[in-house]
């Protein structure tokens, strides 16, 4: 690693991973929800500043995560709390059903939304490779607008980043107000990153 690259890393906020001048840690709103979020994040996303799953974890207090892809590491059984929550896996598999308010009302427990994070190729392997997820109902969402996330290319026309997908799902599970607050956090995230790029381009 070059000295310049090492210096650049030192100048990043250790929490939000953007340049310390653009740190947004104190700008995002933190929400305490009845529902629970469980993120399964591919290991290569762990230190990528453009990863929005980390933003969602900062946004929702009732959340947890697991880094997958490390040899010999599998989901621990206590990651799925089906006693206090109704677990749902958010991913458009062939057997998934549309997440709707009517579906949510059929459950007598708060939802535990489980979301795989990574590239499309990485995420689609999760439900097949993690044994604890085999019998969990799959749900999908149908976004009505294109992604506002500019930091990575989307595979599909109406593809969403992880944070957007969760925001749309929370509009159904919780409320439209929750979605709006999560989307506002994403706008703060995007703005910080777009301001961030010229700084590192200049330094490098």
DSSP codes, 146-186: -----SS--SSTT---HHHHHHHHHHHHT-HHHHHHHHHHH
d(CA 30, CA 59): 5
Q: Decide: 51 and 182 in contact? Cβ < 8 Å.
A: no
CATH number at residue 181: 3.40.1280
139-153 residue pLDDT tens: 999 987 888 998 876
Q: Is residue 77 part of a domain?
A: yes
Count of other CB atoms within 10 angstroms of residue 159? 16
Q: Is residue 22 part of a domain?
A: no
Q: Is residue 171 part of a domain?
A: yes
Q: Is residue 1 part of a domain?
A: no
Domain count, the chain: 1
Mean pLDDT of 99-105: 97
Q: Is residue 67 part of a domain?
A: yes
The pLDDT, as a whole number, for residue 155 is 55
What is the extent of the structural domain holding 168? 28-144+151-191
Q: Is residue 199 part of a domain?
A: no
The beta strand positions in 24-154, using DSSP E, are 36-42, 63-68, 86-90, 97-98, 111-117, 138-140
Q: Is residue 13 part of a domain?
A: no
- Tell me the longest C-alpha to C-alpha distance in the chain: 57
6-63 residue pLDDT tens: 444 558 898 888 888 889 999 999 999 999 999 999 888 888 888 999 999 999 999 9
Q: Is residue 186 part of a domain?
A: yes
d(CA 196, CA 21): 8
């Amino acid at each position: 690693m070059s000295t310049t690259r090492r210096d650049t890393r030192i100048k990043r906020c250790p929490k939000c991973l953007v340049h310390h001048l653009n740190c947004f840690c104190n700008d995002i709103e933190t929400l305490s929800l009845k529902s629970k979020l469980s993120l399964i994040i591919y290991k290569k996303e762990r230190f990528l500043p453009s990863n929005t799953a980390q933003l969602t974890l900062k946004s929702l207090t009732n959340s947890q995560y697991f880094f997958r892809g490390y040899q010999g590491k599998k989901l621990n059984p206590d990651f799925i709390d089906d006693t206090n929550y109704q677990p749902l896996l958010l991913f458009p598999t062939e057997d998934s059903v549309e997440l709707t308010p009517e579906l949510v009302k059929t459950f007598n427990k708060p939802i535990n939304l489980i979301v795989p994070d990574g590239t499309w190729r990485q995420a689609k392997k999760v439900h097949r490779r993690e044994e604890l997820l085999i019998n969990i109902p799959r749900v999908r969402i149908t976004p009505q607008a294109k992604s506002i996330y500019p930091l990575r290319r989307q595979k599909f026309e109406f593809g969403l980043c992880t944070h957007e997908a969760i925001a749309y799902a929370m509009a159904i599970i919780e409320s439209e107000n929750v979605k709006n607050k999560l989307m506002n956090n994403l706008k703060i995230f995007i703005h910080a990153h777009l301001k961030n790029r010229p700084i590192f381009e200049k330094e490098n």
